[in-house]
Amino acid sequence: MKRTTFIFTLLIIIVSVFFAQPAVAQTEAASDPVDCSTLTGKVMVGYQGWFNCADDGANLGWKHWARNRRKPFASGNVTVDLWPDVSELDPDERFATGFKHADGSTAEVFSSANRKTVQRHFRWMRDYGIDGAFLQRFALGLSAPALLRNNNTVLSHVRAGANQLGRAFAVMYDLSGLKAGQVKRVREDWTRLREQKKITGDTTYLHHEGKPLVAVWGIGFSDNRPYSLEECFELVKWLKSSGCAVMLGVPSFWREGTRDAVNDPLLHEIVQTADVISPWTIGRYRSPEEAVRHATRVWQPDQRWCEQRELDFLPVVFPGFSWHNLHGGKLNQIPRLKGEFFWSQVSAAKRVGCKMIYVAMFDEVDEGTAIFKCTNTPPTANGAQFSTFEGLPSDHYLKLAGRAGTLLKDKSLSKTPANKSPGHRLLIGYGEGLMELDQANNIVWHYQDPEIELVYDAWKLENGNILFSHRFGAREVNPAKQTVWEFNVPREKGKQEINSCQPLEDGKVLILDCGNQRLLEVNRRQQVTLAIDLPDGGKNPHNRYMQARKTPQGTYLISYRDNKKILELNAKGKIIWQYALQENDRPFTAIRLENGRTLVPCITSYRIIEIDPEGKITWELNTKDDLGFQLLYPVGVHVRKNGNLVVINSDYHHKKGMNNDVQAFEINRQKKVLWTLTKDDLEKDGKVPIVERGTKMPSHHLLSIQVIGEPLELK
């Protein structure tokens, strides 16, 4: 689609998250007729239908093939970067160009004015399981008689194709190019289409919420469009009053009013009047990693915003981008990566809970976003330079789009429900305090004291009190925030660092004194009843050890941080088991599981491993796993009774820290993410009552977590 494309310079997140493409079968069975009563559950494509050839009868020349449509379509007069595969087209569907193939044969293309070709395109949609198309109807071309006639011809072909092949279709008006006062053209044209051509009476015309769906694209962009938001608002209100459901094509950052979007409250008012919101994403990310990040940081809060206002959210995905011949940019400016880029967006949309997808575009060869059949052997003579499908079959992206529909409809494949409440209460320790969240992620209890920092360990006890460690000791407070027990170490430089505490069955507390390199059991009278001298951990007390746990067997697990080991000691301090980690590993804690294995979150290698007594890794979660977000420092971990892991995804000390959205998550043994706690959960409506030291930014340095009501010995 010929729309202004913004290419933003994004920070590259170096992660090893790769989205596995589904296996693509050699053939696809034709799908059943589409339910045209709703957009929900659909994968719809954008259909330009704007290609004309000199001899197709429209008298529009080589429109959208050539820079000057009245001159021959040949070298030096070309605007497309992909060459369509016309091998299946009949002779009366092919039009000779001035380009030559390597073997000297004449290169041919198609015309959207040819009824047989448009119907063929809809047959491909049916054969590959694509639900239907939004036909692009450019408002700028509605006033020129020849363009209007051609638009109506293509619309007629689309109607015939949709009706014959059982696909859905709907009209999408593009406002690009209109001058001030010209938005009213859409109202006049839509009236003709409904009243004279009766298009919404077709059984295949797409409806939503019981009403015919009409889309309006180009509202709220920050590229100084001459038409006004006020004009757009009047159009949307009129469409709604005439009994239509309205879909709006808006900028990617419409919710924030930044980058590609105007910062005007009227935009939100227009959006809330509509039924479906579809942000334009072409050029907003350029790699699978950036696509995943965009889905987490932008799509997920967008969708949450829409859900709260009873609007539907339609994300736009695209296979790649290239407009070398159109604007002189780099060929394959956004690489397709053999479908990996496209599938990363589809997977991410599924993970954040999207219920519908818009694929841009079906036939857009101008900007290299087409998913229909294109050739890997475009013209090479005449100095031509075109992109290809990287040797993949010409129908590869049609198959992927069809598989996207299968993924969208398969509820069992969802990984990260958007704004999913965990359904239980959480206790979280962070850089400077503690908070308790209810089942809806609301902060219902908060504790902070200027004297504490680095709450690496926190426990809600059966009596309702909270026990936690901080740099200078361990403390127990009641719900009224009164201190009922405390154990501190002298504030002597180089000997002050308490990194963990653990409530024991006899009322004692296990304390890891990193400064003095000792493991202590302390009773309620603050008396040390057991002291174990630990192996030397180095000069820096902060990096010696991270956490300690007493096991059900009465032994002690120590995360020996800078020495990259897990040690198991008996009550006399003798090492009875140890596990050496990789060179880049730093353990945060070690949890002895009921099966005798040991769970170890490794903070600097961004992974969690399970080790059997022989030292074999029996389970691992790392950055290669397809979570839908970046796995950062997995610090606090609580293993639920059912085996699921609840993990803090901390950005503490991380160079990309403040860009981290997923702060905590629950994952099962099959590595399916069940829910996430996001930055927005904490920030929304001013929920965060805490401030990071030395700044005015909310602190998101979460460090420890407890699922209240789950076994404490698995934390």
pLDDT at position 563, please? 86
- CA angle centred on 606, ends 8 and 417, rounded to 5°: 65
Structure-model confidence comparison of residues 584 and 421, the more confident one: 584
pLDDT tens, position by position, 443-452? 889 898 888 8
pLDDT at position 591, please? 96
Give the lowest-confidence range in 44-48, 189-193, 549-553, 685-689: 685-689
Residue 111 · residue 154 · CB < 8 Å = no
Q: Give whole-number Cα distances, 649 to 113, 245, 552, in Å.
A: 54, 40, 27
State whether 387 and 483 are in the same domain: no
Mean of the pLDDT values across residues 486-493? 83
For residue 196, being part of any structural domain is answered with yes
User: How many other β-carbons are positioned within 10 Å of the β-carbon of residue 581?
Assistant: 21
Mean of the pLDDT values across residues 637-649? 94
Query: Structurally, how many domains does the chain consist of?
Result: 2
Which structural domain range is residue 213 located in? 43-409
Structure-model confidence comparison of residues 362 and 545, the more confident one: 362
- Predicted confidence band at 603 (pLDDT cuts at 50, 70, 90)? confident
Mean of the pLDDT values across residues 592-601? 95
Indicate whether 418 pLDDT > 50: no
State whether 373 and 443 are in the same domain: no
Instruction: Give the residue carrying structure tokens 């009053």.
Output: 241
- Predicted confidence band at 414 (pLDDT cuts at 50, 70, 90)? very low
Name the DSSP class of 505: T
For residue 362, being part of any structural domain is answered with yes
For residue 668, being part of any structural domain is answered with yes
State whether 473 and 598 are in the same domain: yes
pLDDT at position 421, please? 55
pLDDT at position 684, please? 58
Strands laid side by side in the 518-522 sheet:
498-503, 509-513, 518-522, 528-533
Mean of the pLDDT values across residues 658-687? 77
- Predicted confidence band at 381 (pLDDT cuts at 50, 70, 90)? confident
Q: Residue 63 has which token pair? A: 């429109």
Kind and range of the H or E element at 241?
Answer: helix 229-241
Structure-model confidence comparison of residues 104 and 700, the more confident one: 104
Most confident listed range (67-81, 402-416, 650-664): 67-81
State whether 403 and 441 are in the same domain: no
State whether 237 and 101 are in the same domain: yes
Tell me the torsion sign for CA atoms 684, 690, 694, 696.
positive
State whether 661 and 520 are in the same domain: yes
- pTM of the full predicted structure? 0.61
Indicate whether 657 pLDDT > 60: no
State whether 242 and 362 are in the same domain: yes
pLDDT tens, position by position, 144-186? 999 999 999 999 999 999 999 999 999 999 999 999 999 999 9
For residue 21, being part of any structural domain is answered with no
pLDDT at position 428, please? 92
Indicate whether 688 pLDDT > 60: no
Residue 156: phi and psi, rounded to 5, are -65, -40
Mark which of 409, 440, 473 sits at the end of a domain.
409
Structure-model confidence comparison of residues 696 and 264, the more confident one: 264
For residue 27, being part of any structural domain is answered with no
State whether 387 and 430 are in the same domain: no
pLDDT-above-90 percentage for the chain: 70
For residue 31, being part of any structural domain is answered with no
Q: How far apart are CA 51 and CA 150, in angstroms?
A: 10
Write the DSSP string, 103-153.
Answer: TSPEEEE--TT-HHHHHHHHHHHHHTT--EEEEEEEGGGGSSHHHHHHHHH
- Predicted confidence band at 494 (pLDDT cuts at 50, 70, 90)? low
Indicate whether 240 pLDDT > 50: yes
Give the lowest-confidence range in 195-209, 265-279, 316-330, 405-419: 405-419
pLDDT at position 17, please? 31
Indicate whether 285 pLDDT > 90: yes
Q: How far apart are CA 585 and CA 562, in angstroms?
A: 9
CATH of the domain at 549: 2.120.10.30
CATH of the domain at 320: 3.20.20.80
**By C-alpha distance, which of 652, 623, 649, 637 is closest to 590?**
637
State whether 482 and 340 are in the same domain: no
pLDDT tens, position by position, 466-475? 999 998 899 9
For residue 420, being part of any structural domain is answered with no
State whether 405 and 442 are in the same domain: no
**By C-alpha distance, which of 279, 290, 385, 298 is closest to 340?**
290
Mean of the pLDDT values across residues 512-539? 92
State whether 61 and 149 are in the same domain: yes
- Amino acid identity of residue 483, one-letter, is T
Give the lowest-confidence range in 83-97, 398-412, 432-446, 649-663: 649-663
Most confident listed range (18-22, 333-337, 624-628): 333-337
Indicate whether 432 pLDDT > 80: no
Residue 453 · residue 470 · CB < 8 Å = yes
- Predicted confidence band at 678 (pLDDT cuts at 50, 70, 90)? confident
Residue 66 · residue 353 · CB < 8 Å = no
pLDDT at position 459, please? 96
Give the lowest-confidence range in 199-203, 360-364, 435-439: 435-439
Indicate whether 49 pLDDT > 80: yes
Most confident listed range (102-111, 347-356, 602-611): 102-111
For residue 461, being part of any structural domain is answered with yes
pLDDT at position 584, please? 83
pLDDT at position 448, please? 86
pLDDT at position 27, please? 36
pLDDT at position 694, please? 38
Mark which of 358, 374, 409 sits at the end of a domain.
409
Q: How far apart are CA 162 and CA 132, in angstroms?
A: 8
State whether 363 and 463 are in the same domain: no
**By C-alpha distance, which of 525, 607, 615, 605 is closest to 568?**
615
Indicate whether 416 pLDDT > 50: no
Mean of the pLDDT values across residues 35-47? 97
Indicate whether 652 pLDDT > 70: no
Indicate whether 656 pLDDT > 70: no
pLDDT at position 623, please? 83
pLDDT at position 659, please? 53
Structure-model confidence comparison of residues 18 and 681, the more confident one: 681
Strands laid side by side in the 591-592 sheet:
591-592, 598-602, 607-611, 617-621
